[in-house]
Chain A
Amino acid sequence: MFFEILVFIALGVVAGVVAGLLPGIHPNTIIVLMLGALPFLSAYPLHAIIAFIISMVVVNTIVNFIPSVFLGAPEDDTALGVLPGHRLLLEGKGLEAVYLSVVGGIGVVLLFVLTLPVLVKVLPYAYGIIKNYIHFILLAVVTVMIATEKGVQKFWGLVVFVLSGILGIVVLNSYLVQPDYVFFPLFSGLFGISTLLISLNDKTRLVAQIKNFGVVEKSVAIIGSIKGFFSGLIVGILPGMGSAQAGTLVQIITRKRDDKEYLVSLGGINTANALFALAALYTIGKTRSGAAAAVEKLVESFGFNELLLLTGVALLSAGMGAIVTLFLSKRCLFLIERLPYDKLSIAVIATLIVLTIIFAGLYGILILAVSTAIGLIAPLTKVKRSLLMGVLILPVVLWFFGLI
């Protein structure tokens, strides 16, 4: 069975790279396809299939930052990463931005393995305490975010949060787009196309990219990974919390506008989120992600052996994911430097529109257009773009308060 597990990990890495590089392809899409093909996979050991899912999800969280940073085409998990990542790209530090997120991913996997024996004992208690207060925590986070804006920007911050929140409430409670694809037009508009339009309007030119940026500072790597680890912990066990909300939490708690440390944290959060969602199956018996739900469906119970398998596969696939990402990011940079940035931006916008039509149809285009318009307000009024996460935070808060 060991050989089969290794083969399925390798396949998971390939699937994770594909899902990570192509905007709009989420690992959940591949998992759904795979679960449909289960009758054909029944000849293989169940644990090999679980290894495939885990390696695909872990690699995807690491590779995901390449399109986020270089193209400004985020998925929900990397939506906030596109902001400091894109900023570093425009300063010639795109490669460094991807490296930083990889450092966070690897750092978190190591922390996860080291702390697993303690986590297994502590998580159920932590979950029991926090689960009833999630909406208050989110509300406090948003209040602090708006209150820390200056002067009239407090008003604009509120406008951005409320408008994106209303968009989330209306779209997420509608049948306009199938649930698996509804986030694609929302996040492509709020964070992707709006970013690219501002760059085009400002006639941004991509400066020469720095290839040799030296080593990542130890303190940045360690502190960023620890922040990512604990934020991922919150996301992984709590319902309604996504990586982007956790990223916002990191920004608020630290009050530090250090893009590098923030990118390490975000890289870490995404990977931690995936790992904790799976570990939550064992510790609190709850599913917190598409991958965890799929694994739960495959095994009768997620026991200690499965937890050990998760740990081993996560370590191996994180290492492989990091190597692939570092290799691919250099190749992507080579291509991007040779193409005019404005034409590239237009090509990315066109691609996002075409993918929206394919995945979400004409209503998807309507959602994309409105999301883009709302996404433009934040940078134009110079308020924190993370307030656009109102698209998820407001519906979650209102749901927990029993208002929707």
Chain B
Amino acid sequence: MENKVLLYLALASSLVGLLIIYIASQNVQPVVTPTGKITFDDVGKNVQVCGKISSLSTSKTGHTFLILEDHTGEIDAIVFNTSKINVDGLKKGDNTCLLGKIDNYEGKLEIIPKEIR
């Protein structure tokens, strides 16, 4: 195949493909996982957990710590002060969903949210 034709094909595929990936990314989110089902095998994976905020506090350095509980258990979450997530409106007792990565901190599982819905 001529290089010029290949270039136009590559350009067209890139643009159309980026659009498709963008649309897909707006519609795909991790399925809701009960907190009690999250294990150390899930470390490094993106998950979504939904439930009620049973504890909420902010450290002096600006990190926000919360505990989310559902009918199967609970999980710690930490929103770092460098995160773009707005935690101002959150309060204890709110029902919410956290989307983020599972981490193992000193032998305990926690979620680092990328989004709070």
Shortest CB–CB separation between residue A34 and chain B, in angstroms?
11
**Contact A380 B6, beta carbon cutoff 8 Å:** yes
Write the chain B residue with the least CB distance to A174: B25
**Contact A381 B7, beta carbon cutoff 8 Å:** yes
Which residues on B sit within 8 Å (CB–CB) of A176? 21, 24-25, 28
**Contact B21 A367, beta carbon cutoff 8 Å:** yes
**Contact A377 B25, beta carbon cutoff 8 Å:** no
Q: Does B14 lie at the interface of the complex (its beta carbon under 8 Å from any beta carbon of A)? A: yes
Q: Does A115 lie at the interface of the complex (its beta carbon under 8 Å from any beta carbon of B)? A: no
Task: For the complex, give the distance between the alpha carbons of A178 and B45 in Å.
Answer: 6
Which residues on B sit within 8 Å (CB–CB) of A377? 7, 10-11, 14
Q: Which of B61-90 contact A (CB under 8 A)?
A: 84
**Contact B46 A178, beta carbon cutoff 8 Å:** yes
Choice from A35, A363, A402 contacting B24 with Cβ under 8 Å = A363
**Contact B13 A369, beta carbon cutoff 8 Å:** yes
Interface residues on B, range: 20 to 34
Q: Does B3 lie at the interface of the complex (its beta carbon under 8 Å from any beta carbon of A)? A: yes
Task: For the complex, give the distance between the alpha carbons of A288 and B43 in Å.
Answer: 17
**Contact B10 A380, beta carbon cutoff 8 Å:** yes
**Contact A370 B29, beta carbon cutoff 8 Å:** no
Q: Does B93 lie at the interface of the complex (its beta carbon under 8 Å from any beta carbon of A)? A: no
**Contact B40 A201, beta carbon cutoff 8 Å:** no
**Contact A373 B43, beta carbon cutoff 8 Å:** no
Choice from A35, A166, A175, A370 contacting B46 with Cβ under 8 Å = A175
**Which of B1, B14, B99, B107 has the most CB atoms of chain A within a 10 A radius of its CB?**
B14
Interface size on A, residues (CB 8 A): 31
Q: Does A131 lie at the interface of the complex (its beta carbon under 8 Å from any beta carbon of B)? A: no
Task: For the complex, give the distance between the alpha carbons of A373 and B40 in Å.
Answer: 37
Q: Does B44 lie at the interface of the complex (its beta carbon under 8 Å from any beta carbon of A)? A: yes
**Contact A179 B44, beta carbon cutoff 8 Å:** yes
Q: Does B52 lie at the interface of the complex (its beta carbon under 8 Å from any beta carbon of A)? A: no
Q: Does A142 lie at the interface of the complex (its beta carbon under 8 Å from any beta carbon of B)? A: no
Q: Which of A136-184 contact B (CB under 8 A)?
A: 163, 166-167, 170-171, 173-176, 178-180
Q: Does A376 lie at the interface of the complex (its beta carbon under 8 Å from any beta carbon of B)? A: yes
Shortest CB–CB separation between residue B110 and chain A, in angstroms?
12
Choice from B20, B22, B44 contacting A180 with Cβ under 8 Å = B44
Q: Does A374 lie at the interface of the complex (its beta carbon under 8 Å from any beta carbon of B)? A: yes
Which residues on B sit within 8 Å (CB–CB) of A174? 21, 24-25, 28
Which residues on A sit within 8 Å (CB–CB) of B114? 173
Write the chain A residue with the least CB distance to B45: A178
Q: Which of B16-73 contact A (CB under 8 A)?
A: 17-18, 20-22, 24-25, 28-30, 40-41, 43-46
Shortest CB–CB separation between residue A197 and chain B, in angstroms?
8
Task: For the complex, give the distance between the alpha carbons of A170 and B30 in Å.
Answer: 16
Shortest CB–CB separation between residue A195 and chain B, in angstroms?
13
**Which of A32, A167, A297, A380 has the most CB atoms of chain B within a 10 A radius of its CB?**
A380
Q: Which of A312-347 contact B (CB under 8 A)?
A: none
Q: Does A366 lie at the interface of the complex (its beta carbon under 8 Å from any beta carbon of B)? A: yes
Q: Does A128 lie at the interface of the complex (its beta carbon under 8 Å from any beta carbon of B)? A: no
Q: Does A214 lie at the interface of the complex (its beta carbon under 8 Å from any beta carbon of B)? A: no
**Contact A36 B14, beta carbon cutoff 8 Å:** no
Write the chain A residue with the least CB distance to B48: A175
**Contact B10 A170, beta carbon cutoff 8 Å:** no
Task: For the complex, give the distance between the alpha carbons of A171 and B99 in Å.
Answer: 16
Task: For the complex, give the distance between the alpha carbons of A367 and B67 in Å.
Answer: 35
Shortest CB–CB separation between residue B98 and chain A, in angstroms?
13
**Contact A370 B25, beta carbon cutoff 8 Å:** no
Choice from B1, B3, B14, B99 contacting A373 with Cβ under 8 Å = B14
Write the chain B residue with the least CB distance to A239: B82
Q: Which of A210-236 contact B (CB under 8 A)?
A: none
Shortest CB–CB separation between residue A26 and chain B, in angstroms?
11
Which residues on B sit within 8 Å (CB–CB) of A374? 10, 14
5 smallest A-B Cβ distances: which pairs? A370-B17, A174-B25, A373-B13, A376-B10, A380-B7
Query: In the complex, given contacts A171-B25, A380-B10, what are 9 additional A-B residue pairs having Cβ atoms less than 8 angstroms apart?
Result: A35-B40, A163-B18, A170-B22, A176-B25, A201-B3, A363-B28, A369-B13, A373-B13, A377-B14
Chain A contacts to B: CB under 8 angstroms: 28, 32, 35-36, 163, 166-167, 170-171, 173-176, 178-180, 201, 297, 363, 366-367, 369-370, 373-374, 376-377, 380-381, 402, 404
25 contacts between A and B (CB under 8 A): A32-B43, A35-B104, A166-B18, A170-B22, A170-B25, A171-B21, A171-B25, A173-B25, A173-B114, A176-B21, A176-B25, A176-B28, A178-B46, A180-B45, A363-B28, A366-B24, A367-B21, A369-B17, A370-B14, A374-B10, A376-B7, A377-B7, A377-B11, A377-B14, A402-B84
